[in-house]
Amino acid sequence: MDWIFISWGALVLTFLGAPLTYNFFMKRRSLGSWNLKIDETYQPNISILVPAHNEEKTIRLKLKNLYRVDYPAEKMEIILVNDASTDKTLDEINEFLNSNPGRKTNVLNRTERSGKSNALNFALKHANGDVIVVSDADCFLSVDALTKALPYLSDPDVGAVAGREMLLNPESSWVTKSELFFNNFVQSQRLGESKVHSTIFFQGGLAAYKRTCLGEFDHENDDSGTALNTVEANHRTIIVPEARFYTMFPATWKSKFALKMRRASHLQRVWIRCLKLLLYGKLVLPKRIAIPEIFLQIFNPIVFFALFFATAMVILEHPLFSLVFLPLLLLFLLSPRGRIALIESFQSYFILLIATVSLVVLRQPKVWKTADDSRVLLNGETLREKQLI
């Protein structure tokens, strides 16, 4: 058999087999039980940290949402960090607080822009809670998010928990539909990792840390980086799918690409760090989680583009191959799910590869930037429909 066909077949098996096998294993594990001691009555004192930079369009809605969350007022404090906003964010905060007393709320105003991680660490110095909750200004907690998430922290082995992201506009465009597909695909995987031991895929919409397990927020990768630090300190980090937070996702590919690039650059930095720890024999995260994830995040994007060029070579060397391959590809694209899966895979691996190259070349993390496009779509009516305000 022609060596080029053998190479092409090996690339296909690697590219498709690795993620599907890992997802299948973790999906099965996600259906199993938790090996945890969970106290449903656990209600610690909490500090909710909300970093904000130029959030005048969302901050009032965010405060309405937090004031509606089901949690004892005497055990909850909200700390808002205005990170050198140049719009009316601070005015919106003060106007809301003057009109809506009832929750203990502390406003910290920074006059020089420092970025999300530094803003969170600044807020941490003023936090009194036994549990530190992080929630971004453009994310909205379900009413029972805290009562669903925090009981898992009652287990002495668990250091941090994360909530599940839900899209407020899943049907807005093919961009949001593809993100919904991706979201559903990875969530069962993250849950499976959590039940095996830990997932380090944390998002800023809802993450809660035991204060005793949190030295400070990771300066380069505030969400997943802090989760990895928690695991490396011998604590578990898990996702609780019943604890939901909602966010408006960009409806255009350009905005999605920018958002995904920011997320990918942070995640790739975390997985490269995991790879280094693994090679030095110092990684605490179990190898059955770390090795597949490192391969999928760092190496499978390279396999994908090698497959792309190998396919082109096969078609050029053996034109008859295209008579079989192209009709099969067309049939796959005619299926809505197949089309979304192919588009999402292509752009995801493209973004991961670009993010990895950028990290190697630039090395410096980008400063947190407000995603204006998704905020334009956000409105009170949508949040009221979901009973978030």
Task: Please name the helix (run of DSSP H) or strand (run of DSSP E) that holds residue 98, with its range, or none.
Answer: helix 89-99
Let me know: does 61 contact 140? Beta carbons within 8 Å. yes
Q: What is the pLDDT of residue 333?
A: 79
Q: Can you give the residue ranges of every domain in the chain?
A: 35-253+379-385
Give the number of other Cβ atoms within 10 Å of residue 309's Cβ.
Answer: 10
User: Is the four-CA dihedral 146, 126, 203, 224 of positive or negative sign?
Assistant: negative
CA proximity to 101, closest of 131, 125, 127, 78 = 78
CA proximity to 128, closest of 104, 150, 145 = 104
CA proximity to 236, closest of 217, 210, 218, 274 = 210
Q: What is the pLDDT of residue 253?
A: 86
Burial of 75 (0-12, 13-18, 19+ CB in 10 A): middle
pTM of the model: 0.91
Q: What is the pLDDT of residue 107?
A: 96
Phi, psi torsion values for 341, nearest 5 degrees = -60, -45
What tens digit of pLDDT does each residue of 216-275 get? 999 888 899 999 999 999 999 999 999 999 999 998 888 888 888 888 888 999 999 999
* Positions of the chain with pLDDT under 70: 1, 362-375
What tens digit of pLDDT does each residue of 302-311 get? 998 899 888 8
Q: What is the pLDDT of residue 340?
A: 83
Task: Name the architecture of domain 35-253+379-385.
Answer: Alpha-Beta Complex (3.90)
Q: What is the pLDDT of residue 362?
A: 64
CA proximity to 69, closest of 168, 125, 139 = 139
> Do β-strands 236-247 and 139-141 pair in parallel, antiparallel, or remain unpaired?
antiparallel
Q: What is the DSSP string of 120-187?
A: HHHHHTT---SEEEE--TTEEE-TTHHHHHGGGGGSTTEEEEEEEEEES-TTSSHHHHHHHHHHHHHH
Query: C-alpha distances in angstroms, 219 versus 149, 235, 291?
Result: 25, 20, 25
CA distance 384 to 164: 19
